[in-house]
C-alpha cells in the first residue's frame, strides 16, 4: 500500500482558490463531502472549527497538514490543495504562518492505525523542498496524484514504533545536577528523562522511580535527620548517580503490537527508541492509548 492509494483527482484542488487556511479547510472539506468520504459534512465542519492543536501539523513555509478522526467519515481519504500564492494562518501573537500546500486527512476511528501512518507519510514528505516544488509545478489534479513521491512511498502492513513515538524527546545529560533534572521533570510534567551523551548515545533513564529511591535515602522522607547523603537541594549529586542503566530499548521499525505486549509483560511504562545506539524517540503507554483511541 502506498500514499497514492488514498488520493484521487476528485479530491485535489489545483489551483486552490483560497488565501487563508480557514478557507482552504472549507474547500477541502467540500471536496471530501462531494466524493462521498464524509457523510455529515456540517457535523465535521463543527469539529474542524474547534481548531484543536492536535488536529494540525504546521510545516514551516511548506504545508499545513490537517487530520481528523471522525465517525462521519466512511473511509480513510486525503484531500490536497495547492495554492501558488500561499495560504496564511493568523497566530495569537499577531504574527502569521504561511505555506502553499494544505493537506486534509479524514478517517473513521476504526482506521486509527492506518490514519497515523498516512499522516506520518505526509509529515515526512512535505518538509522536503523538492516535494513542495513538485506539487506547485503540477498542472492538474491528475498530475498530483501521479507524482512519484506518492506512488513510491510505501506504508507498512503493521503500525510501527516510529508511527507513534515522540521524536526528539526532551533529554538530560549524566553530569547535570540531580536537582536540576528533577525540576525539569516537574516543570514539564514528564515521567522520565532519557540520559544521553553529546552524541545522543543512550546512557540510561532518570524517572520518578529513581528520584523516589533517592528521596527515601535522604532526610526528605524521614524525620529530618540525614541518613545516606544529602537531599536534592544539597550536595552535588548528579543524574549519573541516580539514573538506571538497565533500560529496555526498542527500535523504530518494531511493530507496535509486539512492543505493547512487551511493555505490558515487563510492566514498563515507557521505552527509549534507539537506532544504532542513538536515541531517536520515546514511546510511552500513554502514547499508544492516546494516539490509537483518542479523538
Cα four-point dihedral sign 90, 96, 100, 102: negative
* 231-266 tens-digit pLDDT: 555 457 899 988 999 899 999 999 998 999 998 888
* Cell output for 245: 542503566
- pLDDT above 60 (res 225): no
Q: pLDDT value at position 229?
A: 45
Give the chain's count of helices (H) and strands (E). Answer: 12, 10
What are the DSSP calls for 49-108, one per residue? HT--GGGEEEETTTEEEEEEE-TTBSS-EEEEEEEEEEEEEE-TTS-EEEEEEEEEEEE-
* 62-95 tens-digit pLDDT: 999 999 888 888 889 999 999 999 999 988 888 8
d(C-alpha 119, C-alpha 117), whole Å: 5
Residues of the chain with pLDDT > 70, as a percent, come to 93
User: Please, which pLDDT band fits residue 228 given cuts at 50, 70 and 90?
Assistant: very low
Decide the pairing of beta strands 278-284 and 166-167.
antiparallel
Maximal CA-CA distance, the chain: 77
Identify which has the larger pLDDT, 217 or 71.
71
The model carries a pTM of 0.75
Three-state SS at 240: helix
Q: Are 35 and 11 in contact (CB under 8 A)?
A: yes
**Domains of the chain as residue ranges with CATH:** 3-155 (3.40.930.10), 166-293 (3.10.580.10)
Q: pLDDT value at position 134?
A: 96
Q: pLDDT value at position 43?
A: 82
Identify which has the larger pLDDT, 222 or 167.
167
Amino acid at each position: 500500500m502506498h500514499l497514492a492509494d488514498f488520493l484521487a483527482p476528485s479530491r485535489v484542488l489545483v489551483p486552490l482558490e483560497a488565501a487563508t487556511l480557514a478557507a482552504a479547510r472549507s474547500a477541502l472539506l467540500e471536496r471530501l463531502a462531494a466524493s462521498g468520504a464524509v457523510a455529515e459534512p456540517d457535523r465535521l465542519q463543527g469539529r474542524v472549527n474547534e481548531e484543536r492543536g492536535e488536529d494540525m501539523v504546521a510545516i514551516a513555509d511548506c504545508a499545513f497538514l490537517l487530520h481528523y478522526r471522525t465517525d462521519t467519515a466512511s473511509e480513510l481519504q486525503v484531500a490536497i490543495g495547492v495554492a501558488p500564492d500561499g495560504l496564511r494562518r493568523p497566530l495569537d501573537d499577531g504574527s502569521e504562518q504561511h505555506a502553499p500546500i494544505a493537506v486534509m486527512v479524514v478517517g473513521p476511528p476504526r482506521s486509527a492505525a492506518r490514519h497515523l501512518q498516512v499522516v506520518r507519510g505526509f509529515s515526512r514528505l512535505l518538509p522536503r523542498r523538492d516535494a513542495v516544488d513538485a506539487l506547485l509545478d503540477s498542472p492538474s489534479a491528475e498530475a498530483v496524484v501521479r507524482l512519484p513521491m506518492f506512488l513510491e512511498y510505501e506504508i507498512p502492513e503493521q503500525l510501527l514504533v516510529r508511527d507513534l513515538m515522540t521524536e526528539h524527546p526532551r533529554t538530560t545529560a549524566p553530569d547535570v545536577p540531580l536537582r536540576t533534572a528533577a525540576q525539569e521533570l516537574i516543570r514539564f510534567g514528564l515521567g522520565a528523562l532519557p540520559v544521553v551523551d553529546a552524541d545522543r548515545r543512550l546512557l540510561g533513564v532518570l524517572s520518578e522511580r529513581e528520584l523516589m529511591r533517592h528521596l527515601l535515602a535522604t532526610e526528605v522522607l524521614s524525620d529530618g535527620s540525614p541518613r545516606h547523603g544529602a537531599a536534592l537541594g544539597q550536595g552535588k549529586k548528579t543524574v549519573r548517580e541516580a539514573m538506571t542503566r538497565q533500560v529496555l530499548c526498542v527500535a523504530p521499525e518494531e511493530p507496535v503490537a509486539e512492543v505493547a505486549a512487551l511493555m505490558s509483560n515487563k510492566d514498563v511504562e515507557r521505552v527509549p527508541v534507539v537506532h544504532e545506539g542513538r536515541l531517536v524517540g520515546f514511546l510511552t503507554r500513554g502514547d499508544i492509548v492516546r494516539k490509537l483511541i483518542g479523538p
